[in-house]
Structure 1
Amino acid sequence: MAITMEHRVVGNPITSAATTYSSTTFPSATFPASLEARSFPTGNAFPSQVTLNPFFAVDSGERKHSTIPTPIWRVTNGQHFTAFSAAFPITSGIISFESTKTAPVPISTIVNSTGTFFTWSNGQNTLSPTITPQQYVLVSVVPLILATLFSIPWKILDNTIKEMEPFYQLSRPGGATAENSICLDYATSTILTVPIKAISRGHMLVFCSSLISLAVMFLPALASEAMFVSVTGKHNYACAVFPNLIRIIQALLSFIAILVIFMIAYSCRRTYNIYSEPLSIAGLACLLSLSPALETFQRIESKTKQKELKRLLAGRHFAILELSEMGQSPCPAIVELSSSSPSTITNKSLPRKELWFQSPKTTQSILPSDFDRSVDEEWVKPEGRLSSVWQELKTKLHFCLAMLFLCVVFILIAFYYFTFGHSWFERWMDSQTFGVRFAWTALGTAIKSFLGYLDQDLRRNEPYHRLLLGSARPEDSILVPGYMSPFSAILPSLRRRHFHVSLICFASVLAQFLPICFGNIPYSPSSSQGTYDICSKIAMAILLFMIACIAVSIWRPRKRVKPMFRNTDTLASVCCYVASTPSGDGDAMGMLDKMRGLSKMGNSERNKFLMKSKGLYAMGIVEGGELRIDCDEKVTKLWLD
């Protein structure tokens, strides 16, 4: 006699709720009541196989246990149950399971304005069971938190790779050209242009790192829409997903994993011929103190603009090699190798539009003869052409635009939180359509990235600002390292009394959590009131703090230092500022004289040596009329208004 077996699922199949099995009752054999229910452990994983050992009751009342292979119910993909053929001896003969029937299983999810439903394999639609509060948190908050936290270490790694790439190129056998080493500006380039620059120069590690950072930026916005909570009626909450977004996230993570494997394999071959941190002013000065290339940078005017500097150094080859003085051990130094560029460099070879400042003629020139500074026709950007007010506004224009943008975002969030009108903005926020949470999470990511660039620029320029004020201690100026993230810069900046830097760094740290808060501001009937209130208030508080920090950056009282002629975003630019004239016999010892032989020391040993020397440093006009960084007593005039 054939027996047909079926099953009935009670509860949420996603969470493995209680599962009940039953069978058709026959006169000759029935399952006892003790086998009508089987509960499985809660969780996301179903058992791959369930074995039943049933007893059979026959007409005489005698109960016999099966002695041959028992029926097997197998779970396929966590949902399908199939009974295999088996035979059992009973008093009246053999009962065979000749045919099976696959039980109905959920094959798709329907999400609409009325709620979330399961579509079963038999064509029926049923209401999705409600989820627990823990599952609600896992779906609505945890994906955003994980995507945000996942981006932080990659940003630190990406900054480190971009900052150290020039030193790796200099450490390669044969060195590298200036445009591929000391003129690289990856650290200050936008994230969209870095991959293009890196692949065109063959810098594969920077290319892979920038692609990972670019991919990681999209993860919070995608995670905010990929999984969500749907509500049916008043109290029935269910999990739902957008399959296409899930596939995109999986593709991004797979892409990142492939790039990481390549980066690990590629990094095993990279070497750096340096012993201490080279990103500080002192670290770079140590590499120049014994270098013959120091003469090359001394010949370049301090007024040279960034584009002009790259053009002057084009075609020249530089490398980091071991050099030694008489009786001294070898020390790493940046040296200039034979180059294809002309030996004589003059401003006449540059286009007229690149010439901004006049090269003053002086009878006390300290430059070698192959640099012709006395040109026939000189192009001048006269001092005083722009008013001091406009110069100040131009310097801080990006701060003003940032504050205006943050004020607009704050007003929108406050308007949505405190009012209940029927404007187009509120209707869009309440529409629950796809893309609302995505847009707000992307907005939080954009603000986070902007604060990161602002914070990085301030951290980079703060040591030079201290030097421009004059009489700066080494630990406050030339020994300040290049921090790769605001997390690592807050406490050291406080110890150095760089309160403005630490304030902006703290604002940048708070901005890391804006995507999480922004993603939970748009209305959803499945959102709890507590989640909405907390995220809205935290977002407004962070924005207010950021606006206050930028306002301090604009209006804080400070000495009026003149702007430097070019940014310090490349090694070549810093080398020109550091390349002061070596001291002669009887002259006071300069900064480069103190740095001789320190490039073979470690960080702590080098820093202790310079701090024990108790010298002060400044950035100003030195002998010869150039703007350089040197010891305080070597600077004849500060670069102040």
Structure 2
Amino acid sequence: MGYGQPKAHYSTVEEEEVPILSSMPFDVSSFTGPPQNEEQLREAISQESAGILTGGLGAGLKPGTTITSTDLMANVPPPTPTGLSRRLSFRPSSFRTPSVRSQGLGRTPTVRELGQIEANKRGEIIEVIVEEPTIGGTGEPAVDISSFVGGSTSTVDFDHLDSGKQSRKNTMAAATVEIFYPQANWKPFSMRWPYLLVLSVLSAVLAAAQEYLLQKSDKKPLYSFKSAAELKTWDYFSFKYLPTLIAVSFGVLWQVTDFEVKRLEAYYQLSKKGGALAAESINVDYITFFNFLRPVRALRFKHYAVAVSSMATLIAVSLLPTLQAATISLTPDRATREANGADGFKHIEILAVWSRMLSAVLVLLAIMGGVLIWQLERRPSGLVADVKGIAGIAAMANRSHILMDFKDLDTSPPDMIHEKLKTHRYSLRNSSLAPEESVPLTQAEKDKYNQQNWADNPHPLMLRLIAGIPFMIGMILFMIVIPIILFEPNANVVTDKAPWLLTVFAVCIKLAWGTLETDVRMIEPFYILSLRHASPRVLTLDYTAMAFGWLPIKAFLNGHALVALVGLGSVLAEVLTICSTSFASVSGGDFTGGQPPPPNPGEPAPPNGANTGEETFHSFWLSFGLAIAILTYLCLVAALVYWRRRHPFLPRQPNTIASILAFIHQSKMLYDFVGTEKMNNDEMVQRLGSIGKTYGLGWFTGRDGEVHCGVDEEELVSAYKHGDDARQASQPWRSNWENY
């Protein structure tokens, strides 16, 4: 539906000039682009040094279309008898009341609603000239436009409007201007309602299935057998591996959603009306924060979607497999089975207490899934496409003057960045990050996050030996404990009395490995850049956004072997959980020193007692061999990670939007990102590839002529070496000569 241009008699009205309200200097280089010669280069350096962005950076957000409110309202369909009609009003929806003049039950949309709808439909900023008819030729507007609130970008002189010019008639419309930004709402599939609805329904179905199995088990054991070899393959798989496989897969489905919710929460906060504080948006870190404390941090910031998602994922990944392992029981106990010998029957039953706890947890997850649907569907994401890698953030930062807020922060630690930005508010409008100056900060907001604890170490904790050595020792100890518990008669009682214990150990290793994988995912693009002359594709590389299971395949295709090995380790860690659960109520001594059980039930059982448990000869040794092989693989890959990635190669961790902006705020490569804020990842890859530059991480000469540390196009001044400051050679006043 298109709208015409403003009517002629409005466009010819003689108006006085509105004074420029912004104090930001005007950048004439935005007409010519990046510097093309020495004279332009000197001028650009002079402007950048004075805090003026050049080469088209900081061009600002301008309306693409201008529409009058008359044209906007002309295409409104007649009110339907399903609502209440009301006059033209700009009051918030929470204050809507029926008009006393309404004779019917219809409702007419407001100009604000129509303006927002039109901006969303066009996908561009639109300017609406609001025309209010006057009452009876008195010159008084029918609606008090002085009470308007919202995105107006111009001021109105009411004295001037009241007095008017001689060329005006008192029947003319009083006009003001409203600006509407498109409310983008791109979301990954795992954050959309169909995926989340499947999670909720699946949780409810699993809870009902668990209760059904409990009721069935109370009446009659699920399976009865003398030897596990008597069972059909499907029956054996159904109680031995299938429940754990379902629990583990269910946890992975929640992890996929949790990854995306944490990654994109900052952009939603920025897209809200009035923006968000820096500490709650561009400077918030959910990537490297400790898993079990993440919901607490999210609640502190009032990021309720992250709190719900993180809590649900922790329950699904850690608690669910543990409860499932405790639910299935082999009866009678080991002593009775040994006494009965090969002729005694064994039964697979469901324990009521553990089963009810498992069902309650599944119902809770179904509710949390519903809450997450309600939270995510009622709010726009603020994104037109996925934000991937350094390029995605650089594209968002080219329109406004947000880059100037990061002056002198390229090598600053996180606490200094927080200290400088804590009194700033930022917003995301039309795919562009910008300082939000329309909402002044209160003193309470300025002091809200004074007591912040930031990691001073530039390397993630899980990639440092202080965490790596205990982690590897833990995996080695678990590899030693498994055969001790399975084959040592005195220790083997654990599998019968606490069949869930080995599952708990496996889950702990899985969670720790997940943290290691997250850190490797995050730093890989920066590590490649630190090697210098990297491909443009590295700027769009973002492994943190990659789905579980697809990561090792994609990393192998990209030639990033270490990331692929770590990603494969995450898949194997899930298999380790399944294998560990299968060791419940098993004695490894029953499968040593003798031949495997006979395939036919009629044959005599072997004398070593192999038929006294729920395992078969082949399934036990397969599970045991897999568990030891997986732990060996995890130890070797972890050792490789700490050999190759334990040394810091960045001034600080790239775990927030603010940290990355500080790395690129003076980069010359930003000239290539002017006008790219609405490009998707494929278009960005094609654009950067056509430019043909290479990129690196280190010391470079910025747009202001000074030496900075971060990511820029080659050639750099030098590579980054942790602890060395390349600026001391050309800027000796930065050195601490007192300690020379």
TM-score in terms of structure 1 length = 0.66
Give the whole-Å Cα distance in 2 for the aligned partners of 1:404 and 1:470. 35
Distance 1:110 1:161, change over 3 A: closer
Give the whole-Å Cα distance in 2 for the aligned partners of 1:527 and 1:319. 60
More deviation, 450-459/258-267:
258-267
Give the whole-Å Cα distance in 2 for the aligned partners of 1:421 and 1:195. 41
Report the residue type matching 2:628 in the other structure: M
The alpha-carbon deviation at position 239 of structure 1 amounts to 2.3
The alpha-carbon deviation at position 523 of structure 1 amounts to 4.1
Equivalent residues of 1:116, 1:230 under 8 A apart: no
Equivalent residues of 1:131, 1:237 under 8 A apart: no
Equivalent residues of 1:520, 1:531 under 8 A apart: no
Equivalent residues of 2:699, 2:717 under 8 A apart: yes
Report the residue type matching 1:577 in the other structure: F
| 1:213 match | 313
The SS at the match of 1:228 is strand
Equivalent residues of 2:478, 2:505 under 8 A apart: no
Give the whole-Å Cα distance in 1 for the aligned partners of 2:374 and 2:632. 45
The SS at the match of 2:659 is helix
Equivalent residues of 1:131, 1:238 under 8 A apart: no
| 1:405 match | 474
Distance 1:288 1:144, change over 3 A: same
| 2:524 match | 462
The alpha-carbon deviation at position 253 of structure 1 amounts to 0.8
Distance 1:211 1:356, change over 3 A: closer
Equivalent residues of 1:166, 1:181 under 8 A apart: yes
More deviation, 218-227/275-284:
275-284
Q: Does 1:199 align with 2:277?
A: no
Equivalent residues of 2:463, 2:516 under 8 A apart: no
Equivalent residues of 2:256, 2:548 under 8 A apart: no
| 1:572 match | 658
| 1:319 match | 427
| 2:639 match | 551
Report the residue type matching 2:651 in the other structure: F
Give the whole-Å Cα distance in 2 for the aligned partners of 1:267 and 1:238. 46
The alpha-carbon deviation at position 290 of structure 1 amounts to 2.0
Q: Does 1:291 align with 2:395?
A: no
| 1:605 match | 683
Q: 1:132-166 CA deviation, whole Å, 9 max, x = no partner?
A: 54444322322111111110010111010000000
The SS at the match of 2:500 is helix
- 2:514 alignment partner, one of 443, 447, 452: 452
Equivalent residues of 1:400, 1:554 under 8 A apart: no
The alpha-carbon deviation at position 447 of structure 1 amounts to 0.8
Equivalences for residues 349-428 of structure 1 within 5 A: 395-416=464-485, 420-422=487-489, 424-428=490-494
Report how many residues are paired. 461
Q: Does 1:594 align with 2:672?
A: yes
Give the whole-Å Cα distance in 2 for the aligned partners of 1:405 and 1:578. 39
The SS at the match of 1:482 is helix
Which structure's residues are more often strand, by fraction? 1
| 2:251 match | 151
Equivalences for residues 343-354 of structure 1 within 5 A: none
Equivalences for residues 33-48 of structure 1 within 5 A: none
The SS at the match of 2:707 is coil
Give the whole-Å Cα distance in 1 for the aligned partners of 2:545 and 2:298. 22
The alpha-carbon deviation at position 229 of structure 1 amounts to 2.8
Give the whole-Å Cα distance in 1 for the aligned partners of 2:315 and 2:416. 35
The SS at the match of 1:600 is coil
Report the residue type matching 1:425 in the other structure: A
Give the whole-Å Cα distance in 2 for the aligned partners of 1:620 and 1:399. 27
The alpha-carbon deviation at position 547 of structure 1 amounts to 1.0
Report the residue type matching 1:243 in the other structure: A
Q: 1:592-637 CA deviation, whole Å, 9 max, x = no partner?
A: 000111111122111111112111011111232321211112x211
Report the residue type matching 2:426 in the other structure: F
Give the whole-Å Cα distance in 2 for the aligned partners of 1:626 and 1:425. 60
Give the whole-Å Cα distance in 2 for the aligned partners of 1:537 and 1:444. 15
| 1:190 match | 290
Q: Does 1:639 align with 2:720?
A: yes
Based on CA coordinates, which of the two structures has the bigger radius of gyration?
Answer: 1
- 2:434 alignment partner, one of 335, 342, 345: 335
Give the whole-Å Cα distance in 2 for the aligned partners of 1:616 and 1:572. 24
Per chain length, whose mean CA-contact separation is higher, i.e. which structure has more relative contact order (CA < 8 Å, sep 6+)?
2
Give the whole-Å Cα distance in 2 for the aligned partners of 1:598 and 1:542. 45
Q: Percent identity over the alignment?
A: 22
Give the whole-Å Cα distance in 1 for the aligned partners of 2:532 and 2:513. 29
Q: Does 1:166 align with 2:266?
A: yes
- 1:280 alignment partner, one of 383, 386, 389: 389
The alpha-carbon deviation at position 109 of structure 1 amounts to 8.0
TM-score in terms of structure 2 length = 0.57
Equivalent residues of 1:285, 1:595 under 8 A apart: yes
The SS at the match of 1:148 is helix
Equivalent residues of 1:444, 1:514 under 8 A apart: yes
Equivalent residues of 1:195, 1:211 under 8 A apart: yes
More deviation, 220-229/471-480:
471-480
Q: Does 1:532 align with 2:601?
A: no
Q: Does 1:492 align with 2:559?
A: no
| 2:567 match | 505
The SS at the match of 2:410 is coil
Q: 1:336-381 CA deviation, whole Å, 9 max, x = no partner?
A: 01275799xxxxxx99x99989xxxxxxxxxxxxxxxxxxxxxxx9
Unmatched runs of 5 consecutive residues or more in structure 2: 1-211, 444-449, 587-611, 723-740
Give the whole-Å Cα distance in 2 for the aligned partners of 1:592 and 1:250. 53
- The Cα RMSD (Å) is 3.6
Give the whole-Å Cα distance in 1 for the aligned partners of 2:565 and 2:634. 9
Unmatched runs of 5 consecutive residues or more in structure 1: 1-76, 81-104, 118-126, 323-331, 344-349, 358-380, 382-389, 582-589
Distance 1:109 1:174, change over 3 A: same
The SS at the match of 2:287 is helix
Q: 1:159-213 CA deviation, whole Å, 9 max, x = no partner?
A: 1000000011111111111111111112222221111122222222111111211
| 2:326 match | 225
